[in-house]
Chain A
Amino acid sequence: MSGVEVGIASVIIILFLIYAGIHVAIALGLVSFIGVWISRDSIDIAISLLAAATHDTIAHAVFANIPLFALMGIVSAEIGLGGDIYKVAHQFFRRIRGGLGMATVAANAMFASITGSSIASASVFTRIAVPEMRRFGYTRQFSVGVVAGSSVLGMLIPPSSMLIIYAIVAEQSVGHMFVAGFIPGILLATAFVCGIVVISYAVPKFIGGPTVLSDDDAEPMMGLGEINKLLTPVLFLVVLVLGGIYTGWFSPEEAGAAGSAGALAIGILKRRLTWQGFWRVLVETGQITAAILFLIIAASMYSRMLGIAALPTLFSEWLTSLNLGMTGLMVIYVVLMVLLGTIIETASIILIVVPLFLNSVEILGGDIVWFGIVTVIGAEIGLLTPPLGISCYTIKSTIRDPSITLAHIFYGAFPFAFIMLLVLILIIAYPWLSIGLLQTLS
């Protein structure tokens, strides 16, 4: 079988297995095993691939971000900090239709500046925002969809583990990538809010929730003192984490560890953390970490299998033979990112695809930092698309309400994936949106 055939066949079989209900990681791993067995005609090499990916993939300090920021997020949720941010955000948006959804986006954008991973964002706001939105009568799909959609901000607004991975692959400075991600992150958050406004008038049934809010049925307005009291611990964490990263005293992992310790300290001082609560937090952090990192290991098996089947090489040769301009190249790139994003996990996409395109982008005079932001947003659309959408899966594995299915989550996240695509086109068309801030600063 040629690389192309192996590639296409593997995609079809994986989709089939996932739909049949096989665990996603198992489907990816098993198909990788068979793919290598066929393309190298050796069961030993196929077995070695599984072992190599199991041992190597997550043996990197950057993956510590996942348990640490998840811990910080889950502690924050356990001691009610996320709820506190959310209450304040709620206050600002409560007179607007779909306001609780906007509050989720706003709170997520703020939370994004203390987390490097969308997974952490998704798990935190699943616990905080979904029950609240359900209580106010928002639909299942919108409640989880807005959480999934806004969780991608976690990997775009710095700190971001995806920007770090891109910086490694493309040999760019992590600091530059972080600066470049800032405006696109804010832009995307704004676009989400605008999107919610549009949907709430065009298809109110999709969102649900209160359509008319009067002073009578709204809770009393909080005073400045109360807002202050709610936000101070959160701001302390933002300053600790973001401040730590921007002053350079902390790497992202260190910021995550400091943030976790800070959140625990706040919980103890506020007497909101019990021993049982603490233990629950740890067990949950562990389970989420195991599920997500095992999925990343399996995704790595799959991308390595494609590498062994020579798919990336064949692709690269084909690309060169096309003689495309920058626009044509970007169209192909975005289409490919979105397609791959359906079944491959974000970091693996970046690792596989960026090297194939980097050369062509440079030859056509594209900026490599700009290309990184395009890449990260493009690859993150996949967090929201079935059958493998890690943000959606995170929500499913975090949520306690069994009546919310994966289908609800993917359906609800779809408008947000679409908005991401629009913002991506904007960022491709106007590179200064990403590199302008960087050029101003230096």
Chain B
Amino acid sequence: MPDSGTSDGGERIPSAPLRLFASLVGGMNAAGSCWIVVLMILINVEAIGRSAFNKPIIGVIEMIEISIIGIVFLQLADSLRRGVLTRSDGLFNQLLKKNIVAGYLLAVLTYAIGAVFMGLVIWGSVPYLIDAWKNNYYIGVEGMFTAPVWPIALIIVIGVAVTMVQFIIILADYCRLLNSPD
């Protein structure tokens, strides 16, 4: 997979928007990584507070649920960029050896399908976000702990949108390779 947006083997200097996008993906990954530490600390503090001081943190379950979604969708685009998102590339590698154009075509198709799918998920998720924002949906128990739903719906929409753009960037890189296969 071409190393999109970060470096390009010296052939091409990434344009300013691409560099900006790469730092957005990197920044989201960093935020998600820090969130894992926050999650770990939160759960530890709650366990200690509950057992040692008889003071559990009310709402810890809701905070955990929010955290998992936050961690996943902040890091999804970076997982794709670094090739960690699971795919079986046996056929692709075979093709690259035998017929490089067909191999690149298959790659273009793969990343195009990925971008389309992410588009479908955004299409379905935006109404969730609008609904949650307009109607003040919350999780938890009123009078004890509540957290609004919209921030998490927003993270999902942003995470999926950035992943879609990442799919398109990798796709564009393969298109470029297709035009100059050497």
Contacts and interface: CB of A to CB of B under 8 A. Distances in A.
Whether A and B touch (Cβ < 8 Å) is answered with yes
Interface of A: 18-26, 29-30, 33, 47-52, 54-55, 58-61, 63-64, 67-68, 71, 249-250, 253-254, 256-258, 260-261, 279, 282-283, 285-291, 293-295, 386-387, 393, 396-397, 405-407
Contacts of B135: none
A49 B121 CA distance: 9
- The residue in A54, A63, A290 that gathers the most chain B C-beta atoms within 10 A of its C-beta is A290
B116 to A, nearest CB: 8
Interface of B: 29-30, 32-34, 36-37, 39-44, 46-47, 51, 61, 64-65, 67-69, 71-76, 78-80, 82, 84-93, 106-107, 110, 113-114, 116-117, 120-121, 123-125, 127-128, 153, 156, 160
A4 to B, nearest CB: 26
Contacts of A50: 120-121, 124
B51 A286 contact: no
A289 B110 contact: no
Secondary structure at the A interface, as helix, strand, loop or mixed, is helix
Contacts of B127: 51
Contact of B76 (A59, A294, A406): A294
B130 to A, nearest CB: 12
A23 B163 CA distance: 13
Contacts of A25: 85-86
B124 A48 contact: yes
A287 B36 CA distance: 11
8 contacts: A21-B92, A54-B160, A55-B69, A68-B40, A261-B41, A286-B33, A290-B84, A393-B86
A282 B34 contact: yes
B75 A289 contact: yes
A22 B87 contact: yes
A23 B110 contact: yes
A386 B88 CA distance: 10
A405 to B, nearest CB: 6
B164 to A, nearest CB: 11
A29 B40 CA distance: 31
Contacts of A59: 65, 68-69
Contact of A23 (B40, B51, B86): B86
Nearest to A18: B88
A57 B92 CA distance: 31
Contact of B72 (A18, A47, A282, A293): A293
Contacts of A22: 87, 110, 113-114
The listed residue with most B CB atoms (<10 A of its CB), out of A22, A26, A260, A279, is A26
B153 A249 contact: no
Contact of B125 (A29, A33, A51, A67): A51
B132 to A, nearest CB: 10
B85 A405 contact: no
A254 B69 contact: no
Contacts of A286: 29, 32-33, 36, 71, 74-75, 78
Given A22-B114, A58-B72, 18 more contacts: A19-B90, A20-B106, A23-B87, A24-B86, A24-B88, A25-B85, A59-B65, A60-B68, A64-B43, A257-B42, A258-B47, A260-B40, A286-B74, A287-B78, A290-B84, A293-B72, A294-B79, A387-B88
A285 B67 CA distance: 14
Contacts of A386: 88
Nearest to B46: A254
Given A20-B106, A249-B47, A290-B79, A64 B88 contact: no
B144 to A, nearest CB: 17
A47 B90 contact: no
A293 B72 CA distance: 7
B141 to A, nearest CB: 15
